[in-house]
Structure 1
Amino acid sequence: MYQKQFNNPNTKSTERVQTSATVGFKNGAIQIIIWITTIFFFTIPTLSETLFHISYVFGCDPYFRFNDLSYQWIALDNWTYTTTFTVPSQIRVRKKVLLVFDGVDTAASISLNGIVVGKTDNMFRRYDFSVRKLLKDGENVLEVSLLSPVFYSSERRKAHSSYSVPPECPPDVQKGECHVNFIRKEQSSFSWDWGPSFPTMGIWKDVRLDAFDVLHLIQLSSLPLYSISTQWRLQVELLVDAVQTTSCQVELSLSELDSKQTIQNLFLQGRLKYNFTLHINKVDSFKIEAYLTSFLQVYFRTVELIQEPVMESPGLSFYFRINEKSLFLKGSNWIPADSFQDRVNSAVNLLQSAVDANMNALRVWGGGVYEQDLFYNLCDELGIMVWQDFMFACAMYPTEDDFIQTVREEVIQQVQRLKSHPSIIVWSGNNENEAALATNWFNIPASQKPTYIKDYVKLYVNNIRKIVQEDQSRPFLVSSPTNGAESEQEGWVAANPYDPHFGDVHFYNYNMDCWDWRTFPRTRFASEYGFQSWPSFSTLEPVSIPEDWSYNSNFTSHRQHHESGNQQMLQQAALHFNLPNSTVPLKRFTDTLYITQVMQAQCVKTQTEFYRRSRSEIIAGKGHTLGALYWQLNDIWQAPSWSSIEFGGKWKMLHYFAQDFFASVLPVGFEDDDTLFIYAISDLNHDLKLRAVVNVYSWSDLDSICTLTSDQLLVSGGSAAAIFKQPVTSLLAGCGGCTRLTCLLSFHLENNHGIQQGPTNHHFLCSPKDAQGLQRPNITEDKSGFMVILHSDSVAPFVWLDVGHIQGRFSVNGFLIVSRNKTVHFDAWQPTSVAELSRSLSVTTLMDVY
C-alpha cells in the first residue's frame, strides 16, 4: 500500500450568503428570492489530484512512447490519499456539516479521524457524508483509500456468477484491461480502439465541507417548457437539504410583466426536491441568469424529434426541429480530451474549432464522461447543439440491485446538473448496445438472448428512461444507433437497428472505395461514420524518438489500437494515390502521415456531401437525411484515429475540409451513370436564386480550358436541389478535347448578381495517381505578417501548409490550387513572429511525396 501524504496548511474557508438569484431577460428580470441562513464552505484543495500524476514524479509524460504499458502497475495497486486540516470555528458550530466529494474515481473508502464515513463506487456521482460529530479542535485527518479499479472490476465480475456479461476483455490490439462494464467509471479508461489503457484513480473533482443551520440549497435548475395551450412556463427546481422542518418565503417576480408570486413554502426535514412554476405569456428571445451557489444561464428554446411517416417511403423520418425550424445537424462526436480529466484545458479551443468548421452539433459519446460545466456553458454560448449519451458503451451491463441503484443516482444527479443547458437537445441511453444485442456482437446463444434483452430493458428503459422522462424539454432515445420509435415497437431491441428507413445509423467500411458514394447508406440520420488517419509529425515527435519514425516501427504498431488499421489506411489511399516511396526514412514517414490525412479528408468529404445532398430526396424509399455527425472530433493522445483535430488542438486536413463541406451554402458534384450532377445545398432560412459555374482545367495548365454555366434555379431555404446535369463525355468533348485523365473540374455557385455563394468545390474525373500531365508545381511563398502568398506555375492538389510546433491554424489548408496566386492567413494561438513562422513553414503537395 502506497501512502501519499498531503499536509497543506493553506486550506481555506469561504463564507457565501445565499439570499437571492436574479434572472434577467431583455428589459426585465425574473427574481428568485429564498430567505435562508448563511452557508459556510470549507474547501480542501489538496485532495483534488489525480493519482496518475505520480508519473510526473518519475519525470516522464505518461503518453511518451510505451509508458501506457510501463505504468500499468499503478492501476493494479491500492492507494491512499491523506490530508490534515484545521476546521474554522464557524464551521463546527453549525447544526449540520457535510463532507462533499464532487467526484471520486472510483471505488474508495472515506475516513475522517480514523472513522469510516462512507464508500464510493461511481465516478459520475457526487457523494456527501454527515461529519459534524467527527470534527475536532486542532488537526483533522481525512483519508481516501482507493481500490484498484482493475481488481475491483474483476471481483465484481466474479460475484456475478450466474451468467457472463460480455465482453470479458477488449481486443488484444487495444492492450487494455478487462471487465470495465462492472465499474461505473469512464469506460474508455480501460482502453479503446483510439485510446490507451489508463485506469485512473483519485479525486477528480472538488472536496469541501458544507456547514449550515437551517437550509442548504444543493442544486438550482430552471427549465423553460412550451405548449400551444399554456405558452411558456418556467419550471424552477430546488434541491435542498433541511436540518429541520422549516418555513421559508420563496418569491418569484417578473418585472417586465409587472408580476410577482410569493410562496410561503414549508421545507420538510431532510433532502427533498421542490418545484415552482412561473407562467409567461410572452417570450422574445430572452435568457435567464441565475445566481445562487453557482452561475446558471438558460435560453428559451423548444426541441422536437420528428418521427413521422415519409411520403413515398417505408419507415419514419428522424430529424430535429428547434424553435419550430427543421435543422440539418452538422458536426462530429466528442470523446474525452485527455486520459486524465484534471489536465483537460482544451475545451475552449476544441469547441471554437468546431464552430469555425461550421458545425452546429456534437455528440458526447457514451464511453467517456459527462463533461464539465465549462463544456456545456461554452456550447450554450457558441450555439452548439449537444446529443448527450449516458455513459454506457459497446457492452452488456449487470443489473444487480446495487448496480441499478448507483446508476439511478448517477442519472438523477447528471440530469439535475445538465438539464438547464439549452445546448442539450437529446438524451441517449447508450452507445451501440442495442446494435450489439440485435446483431450478436458477443456470440450470445439464441436461448440466452431473452435474458440479456430483459437486462437491457431493465437498465435503460425501466430505470434511466423513467428518470429522464421527468425532463419534458427534450426527447430521449434508448440507444444510438437505433430505429427510434420502431425500436420501441419491437420491444426496444429492433431486428436491425441499422435500418436506414428509421432513426440514426453508424456506418464503417474500410474495404470499399470511399470515393464511390453508392457504398454509403442513404440514411435518415448519420450519427457515426469515418476513416482513420495519423496525426502530423509535430504532434508525434514529443512522445517518440528517432527509431520510432517509421510506418512499420514498434511504436507505430503499438499506437494503433484498431485491428489492421495501419494497413487499412494505406490500402484505401492506394486506390487513388501513389504511396510515398522516398529512400530517406524520415521523409517517407512524414509523407505517409500526410497521405493518410489526404485519404481521410477526401473520404469523409465524399460521404458527408452525399448526406447533405440527400436531405431533400427519397430514392428507392431512402433519404431525407437531416444529420451528419462524423466520428470523431478530437483525440485523447498522440496516435492514429478517426479524429479531425489532433491531440493538442492542431487541425488535420479533414477539419479544414469540414469548413467547406459544412458550409451553409454548398455546391456538391458527383457522377451517376457517366453523368455529372451538381447540387446546390442551402441551410439558410430564405430562398436563393443560384446557378452553377463549372471551370474545366488541364492537370498541366492553370488557365481554364472552358467554363460552363447552368440556368438559374430557385433553391429553397433548407433544401438541396440539382442545379447542373450533363453527361461527362459531352462535357469533355465540348472543352477542347479533354479526357478524364487529362482534366479536372472546379465549380462554385453564384447568385443573380454574379456574387459567389459558398465555397469553391472540385471534382476529379480520375484518380490522381492516373492523372496525365500532373506535375510537381514550383511553389514559392511571400510572407507578410501572418499571411502567406503562394505562387504556383501549375495545378497542385492537396496543398498542405505546416508550421511545426507553432500553435495556430491557417484560414484554409489541404486545398487545390488552380490559380497562380493563393493567399492564406495564419491565426496564431500563442505569441510568435514572422521570422519564426518563416523558419517553421513547410509546403507539401501531392506530387512532393512521390
Structure 2
Amino acid sequence: MKDVTQLIDGWSLRHDETLLPARVPGCVHTDLLAAGVIPDPYLGRNETEVAWVGGRTWSYVTDLVHDSAHERTDLVFDGLDTAATITLAGEALGKTRNMHRGYRFDVTGRTGALEVRFTSAYEEAAAVRALTGERPNVYPEPFQYIRKMACGFGWDWGPTVVTAGMWRPVRLEHWSTARIDRVRPLVTVEGGTGHVEVRLEVRRSERGSGRPLTARATVRGPGAGAGATAEVSFTGEEAVLRLKVGEPRLWWPRGHGDQPLYGLDVTLLDGGAALDAWRRRIGFRTVGIDRSADAHGTGFTFVVNGVRIFARGVNWIPDDVLPSRVTPERYRARLAQAVEANVDLVRVWGGGIYEDDAFYDACDELGLMVWQDFLFACAAYPEEQPLRGEIEAEARDNVVRLMPHPSLVLWNGNNENLWGFRDWDWEPALAGDSWGEGYYLGLLPRIVAELDPTRPYTAGSPWSGSWDHHPNDTRHGTHHSWEVWNRQDYAEYRSSVPRFVAEFGWQAPPALATLRRALPGEDLAPDSPGMLHHQKAEDGNGKLNRGIARHFDLPEGDFDRWHYLAQVVQARAVGSGIEHWRAHWPLCAGTVVWQLNDCWPVSSWAAVDGDGRLKPLHHELRRVYADRLLTLLPGRSEDDGPELAVDNQSADPWRTAVTLRLLDADGGVVREAVVEVAAEPRSVARTALPPELRPTPGSPKEFLVADADGLRAVHFPVPDKEFAYPRARYDVRTEPVPGRTGAVDVVVTARTLVRDLLLQADRLAPQAVADSGLRTLLPGEEARIRVTGCGDVRVAAVRAALFSADPA
C-alpha cells in the first residue's frame, strides 16, 4: 500500500541572514508575525508597514531525509504561492507559477537540502506582462498576469497583503507498481436509480507498466444495506467502473429535504494486494439551470431533483487574506452562520481561491448549494502563454477535485469580466487583444463538458446568456445591481425585477468591539485615520453618509449614533431588495447578497465582520430569507398604496389571518382589519390593501403594521427624519437564564413606538452575542433578547448598549 509522510515540521524561512521557524502549511506573513519581525497588518495602519514583504524573494528550506522500500517516491505540493523554484541538493526539481493547482516531483532515492524559493509575485507578474502586453484592470495591481488569489493585491473591502509560501500541505508519497492519479465520479439519478460512473486514471512505475491491475469501487449508503460494488481489470492507465444504487436517498438543499451522504471507496489492487485507495463522500441528486425564454426574457432558475428553487444566497470571499489560517473549524463556524441566516446557496467568488475540501464538506453536510466561480475577476486576462496552459491545468485540477461534492451545483466562468468588456471602456483599450472571452466561452465550458457533464456551466456573472443582449440586462440571466449602492437610495431596488440577482449589497462598519481591537487607542470617528484606512471602497464613507442622510439627520460628532444608523441602513437596504424580489417569484428566481464574510476588520458589505461578529444585516437576512415572509410593499405610485405579500417558500401551504393596523405616531389604532390569506407551497400571494387602511400619502403621523404567525411587517410613508416620532421611552430589566452561565435575558418594554431597537451586545462584553437584531415595538409590547457571553450586567450598561431609530 502507498505510504504517505507529511512534511509539516522542520522547515525554516530564510530572512536576510537568519533562519526563522516556519509552519507548513503557512506563508511568509504568518511566519514573520510569529517571529515578531512584522506587526499585525490588520491592526491600525500596519498594512502599509508590511508592504515590503510582497516585493521580496523568500526561501523555505529543510533537510529531506527518507528511506522507503517502495519503487517510487514523489514530493507533492498541494499549493505553492506562487512563482517558485524547487531544488534538492542543489539540483533543480522544477518551477511553478500557479497558486491554484498542485505539483508533483520524482525524488526517488534523492535526499539533501530541499529549498523552495519564491520570487516576488510582482516580479513574476511583470515578466508575464512583458510577454503578453498590457490589459485593462479595475485596480492598479497586476493580478491578471499571475495565477494567484487576486484579492491579496487589495480590493474594495480587502488589504493589499501579497503573500508567498507553501499555503497547502506538503508530503512524500512512496508507492510501487501503480498509484491512483485521478478519480472522477459522475453521479446521476434516473428513474429512481442512482448511477455512479467512476472514471479512474492511474500512473504506473516502470515495473508496473502493462501489468494487469484491478480497480474496485464501493458505494456505502448512509443506511444499512444501501450500497453497491463493481470491479474491473485493466492493463492501461484508465478504467471505468459503473455502479447502480436502487432508490437512493436524495441530497437536497437545506429547507427542501435531508442531506444523506454516501461513501465512495476506490481501491487499486495488484492481485490481492492493495496498492492505493481513494475515499470521498457523494450525494445523489440532479441539478440544472432553467434558462428558458419566456415573455419576460430569459430565466435563470436552479432546479434540484426536479424542484424549482428560489435561491437565498450569499457571496463568499476568502475568510482571511492569509488563507492558510482558515481551519476546518473556522469554515464550519462561518458556514453555520450562513445557515443561521437561512441561506441555502453560497457563491465562491472569482477573485479568491478554490476553497479547501473542508469548505465543501461542510456545505455537503449543511445543505448549502455551492456556486463556484473559476478564478477570474474584474480584469481583462491575456489568453497567451504562459497563462493559457496554466489556466487549463488549474481548471482541470479543480474540476476533478471538487466534483465529488453534491453541494456543488454550478460552475461559473468569471466575475464581471464580460460586463467589463462591454461597459468599462475595455474594448477600445484592448484594440483586438485577447481579454478572456476565449476562456469563458471556449476553454472552460469544454473542460466542464469533458470532465463534469453532470453540472451546469454559465460563462460569467453577470451574463445574459449570449452577446445578443447586454451582459447585465435585468431581463436575461444573472444581474449585478450596483447602481443603487453607488448612486441611489435603496428604495430604487424596487424599480426593477431582474431574473436572478447574483450581486447586490450595502456597506456598514463592523461591530464596535471589532473596531476597538483593530484600531487600538483611536478616538473613533467616521473619518478618523484608522477608520478611513479600514474603508477601501471608492468614496465609501461618502456613500455611507448619503445613504444615512436620505433617511435620518446625519449625526455630527456622535460616532455611536452614526455607527448604529449605518448598520440600520445596511440592514434595511438589503432587506428591502430581497422583500421586493422575493415577492416577484418565480419571475425573479434568487438573490445572492454581497457578501457573507470579511477577510479582515473593515467597513464593508459583509453580514459577518472580520472578527466573526454578526452585524444587524445577519439578523435581517434571517428574517427575509426565512421560509415564510410577510412584507408590506410600497405601492408603485401614491394611488396604488402599499401591497401585502405573503411569501411561502416552505413545502406546506400557508393559510393565515393577517392583522392589519393603521396607527398614528403615538401608537394609537386609527383603523384595523383582518385579512385571510392563503399561499401555496413555493409561492407568493399578493393582496391589495383596502383604501381605508392605507396611510395618507406623505403623512408624518401614520404608519401601517401587519402581523401574522409571529411575523411582522411595517410601512412608513415618509423617511424617518420626516416622521413625527415621539421621544422613545422603554423600560429595561435583566433576568438570569436558569442553567446558562454567562447568559442573561434583556427584557425591553416599550412605552412608546420604538423603531428598529438594537442591542449591541459587544458593548457589554467583546465576546457577548445577542440572539436578535432590529425590532420595532408598539406601546406596551415586550421584546426579550437573550445575550450570551456577557456574565452579570447592570441595567445601566444595557441601556447604554440599546439604540433605536426614533429619538431616545
Of the three residues 646, 663, 669, the one matched with 1:680 is 646
- In the alignment, the residues of structure 2 paired with residue 690 and residue 546 of structure 1 have an alpha-carbon distance, to the nearest angstrom, of 53
- Correspondence 1:497 to 2:476: no
Q: Which residues of 2 match residues 723-762 of structure 1 at below 5 A?
A: 723-727=687-691, 731-732=694-695, 740-749=699-708, 756=709, 759-762=711-714
Of the three residues 226, 231, 234, the one matched with 1:265 is 234
Distance 1:732 1:401, change over 3 A: closer
Q: 2:386 aligns to what SS in structure 1?
A: helix
User: More deviation in 775-784 or 651-660?
Assistant: 775-784
TM-score, length basis structure 1: 0.84
Q: Which residue of 2 aligns with 1:233?
A: 195
**1:808-841 deviations in Å (ceiling 9; x for gaps):** 532211211225353434364xx66345999678
1:165: how far off? 1.5
- In the alignment, the residues of structure 1 paired with residue 58 and residue 28 of structure 2 have an alpha-carbon distance, to the nearest angstrom, of 8
Q: Which residue of 2 aligns with 1:613?
A: 583
Q: Which residues of 2 match residues 376-391 of structure 1 at below 5 A?
A: 376-391=360-375
Q: Which runs of 5+ in 1 are unaligned?
A: 1-36, 172-177, 583-587, 617-623, 750-755
- Correspondence 1:783 to 2:735: yes
- In the alignment, the residues of structure 1 paired with residue 155 and residue 570 of structure 2 have an alpha-carbon distance, to the nearest angstrom, of 20
Q: Which residues of 2 match residues 212-291 of structure 1 at below 5 A?
A: 212-227=175-190, 231-243=193-205, 244-245=208-209, 246-252=211-217, 256=225, 261-268=230-237, 273-285=238-250, 287-291=261-265
TM-score, length basis structure 2: 0.88
1:788: how far off? 1.6
- In the alignment, the residues of structure 1 paired with residue 28 and residue 118 of structure 2 have an alpha-carbon distance, to the nearest angstrom, of 10
Q: Which residue of 2 aligns with 1:55?
A: 33
1:793 maps to amino acid: R
Q: 1:41 aligns to what SS in structure 2?
A: strand
Distance 1:827 1:845, change over 3 A: closer
Q: Which residue of 1 aligns with 2:99?
A: 123
Q: Which residue of 1 aligns with 2:118?
A: 146
User: More deviation in 804-813 or 180-189?
Assistant: 804-813
Of the three residues 654, 657, 661, the one matched with 1:695 is 661
- In the alignment, the residues of structure 2 paired with residue 206 and residue 841 of structure 1 have an alpha-carbon distance, to the nearest angstrom, of 49
1:783/1:834 contact within 8 Å kept = no
Distance 1:661 1:254, change over 3 A: closer
1:464: how far off? 1.6
Distance 1:739 1:67, change over 3 A: closer
1:548/1:556 contact within 8 Å kept = no
1:762 maps to amino acid: V
Q: Which residues of 2 match residues 57-136 of structure 1 at below 5 A?
A: 57-58=36-37, 60-87=39-66, 89=67, 91=68, 93-135=69-111
1:462: how far off? 2.6
Q: 1:549 aligns to what SS in structure 2?
A: coil
1:326 maps to amino acid: R
2:725/2:753 contact within 8 Å kept = no
- In the alignment, the residues of structure 2 paired with residue 467 and residue 548 of structure 1 have an alpha-carbon distance, to the nearest angstrom, of 54
1:794/1:820 contact within 8 Å kept = yes
1:315: how far off? 2.0
Q: Which residue of 2 aligns with 1:589?
A: 559
Q: Which residue of 2 aligns with 1:353?
A: 337
1:547: how far off? 3.8
- In the alignment, the residues of structure 1 paired with residue 371 and residue 115 of structure 2 have an alpha-carbon distance, to the nearest angstrom, of 38
- In the alignment, the residues of structure 2 paired with residue 479 and residue 428 of structure 1 have an alpha-carbon distance, to the nearest angstrom, of 6
Aligned pair count reads 752
1:318/1:524 contact within 8 Å kept = yes
Q: Which residues of 2 match residues 533-612 of structure 1 at below 5 A?
A: 533-582=508-557, 588-612=558-582
- In the alignment, the residues of structure 2 paired with residue 499 and residue 847 of structure 1 have an alpha-carbon distance, to the nearest angstrom, of 36
Distance 1:840 1:763, change over 3 A: closer
1:417 maps to amino acid: R
Q: Which residues of 2 match residues 420-459 of structure 1 at below 5 A?
A: 420-439=404-423, 441-445=424-428, 448=430, 450-452=432-434, 455-459=435-439
**1:504-547 deviations in Å (ceiling 9; x for gaps):** 00011236553525654311100001111111221111121444
Q: Which residue of 2 aligns with 1:469?
A: 449
1:724: how far off? 4.1
Of the three residues 257, 282, 304, the one matched with 1:322 is 304
Distance 1:480 1:71, change over 3 A: same
- In the alignment, the residues of structure 1 paired with residue 3 and residue 336 of structure 2 have an alpha-carbon distance, to the nearest angstrom, of 37
1:700/1:775 contact within 8 Å kept = no
- In the alignment, the residues of structure 1 paired with residue 502 and residue 693 of structure 2 have an alpha-carbon distance, to the nearest angstrom, of 38
Q: CA RMSD in A?
A: 2.5
Of the three residues 302, 306, 321, the one matched with 1:339 is 321
User: More deviation in 649-658 or 839-848?
Assistant: 839-848
2:671/2:693 contact within 8 Å kept = no
- In the alignment, the residues of structure 2 paired with residue 726 and residue 460 of structure 1 have an alpha-carbon distance, to the nearest angstrom, of 51
1:613/1:720 contact within 8 Å kept = yes
- In the alignment, the residues of structure 2 paired with residue 248 and residue 443 of structure 1 have an alpha-carbon distance, to the nearest angstrom, of 54
Q: Which residue of 1 aligns with 2:440?
A: 460
**1:424-450 deviations in Å (ceiling 9; x for gaps):** 1100011011101122x144328x554
1:591/1:849 contact within 8 Å kept = no
2:39/2:50 contact within 8 Å kept = no
- In the alignment, the residues of structure 2 paired with residue 438 and residue 597 of structure 1 have an alpha-carbon distance, to the nearest angstrom, of 34
- In the alignment, the residues of structure 1 paired with residue 731 and residue 200 of structure 2 have an alpha-carbon distance, to the nearest angstrom, of 64
- In the alignment, the residues of structure 2 paired with residue 796 and residue 512 of structure 1 have an alpha-carbon distance, to the nearest angstrom, of 30
1:810/1:824 contact within 8 Å kept = no
- In the alignment, the residues of structure 1 paired with residue 807 and residue 693 of structure 2 have an alpha-carbon distance, to the nearest angstrom, of 34
1:361 maps to amino acid: L
Q: Which residue of 1 aligns with 2:767?
A: 807
- In the alignment, the residues of structure 2 paired with residue 746 and residue 726 of structure 1 have an alpha-carbon distance, to the nearest angstrom, of 14
Distance 1:764 1:257, change over 3 A: closer
2:61 maps to amino acid: T
**1:148-196 deviations in Å (ceiling 9; x for gaps):** 00121122112224xx2122x725xxxxxx2110000000110101111
Q: Which runs of 5+ in 2 are unaligned?
A: 12-23, 251-259, 267-276, 738-742
Q: Which residue of 2 aligns with 1:720?
A: 684
1:561: how far off? 1.5
1:596: how far off? 0.7
1:148 maps to amino acid: S
Distance 1:449 1:610, change over 3 A: farther
Q: Which residue of 2 aligns with 1:406?
A: 390
- In the alignment, the residues of structure 2 paired with residue 60 and residue 779 of structure 1 have an alpha-carbon distance, to the nearest angstrom, of 45
- In the alignment, the residues of structure 2 paired with residue 415 and residue 317 of structure 1 have an alpha-carbon distance, to the nearest angstrom, of 26
- In the alignment, the residues of structure 1 paired with residue 200 and residue 686 of structure 2 have an alpha-carbon distance, to the nearest angstrom, of 53
